Amino acid sequence: MARITIETGRHGMVIVRIPYDPELLAKIKTIQGRCWNLTEKYWTVPHKQGIVQVLLNLFAPEPVGIDSKLQYMEGGK
> What does each of the 77 residues of the chain score in pLDDT, given as a tens digit?
689 999 999 999 999 999 999 999 999 999 999 999 999 999 999 999 999 999 999 999 999 999 988 876 666 54
- In 3D space, the residue among 26, 19, 25, 33 whose CA is nearest the CA of residue 63 turns out to be 19
pTM of the full predicted structure?
A: 0.89
Question: What is the pLDDT at residue 21?
Answer: 96
Question: What is the pLDDT at residue 22?
Answer: 97
CA angle 60/23/39 to nearest 5° reads 100
Question: What is the pLDDT at residue 69?
Answer: 83
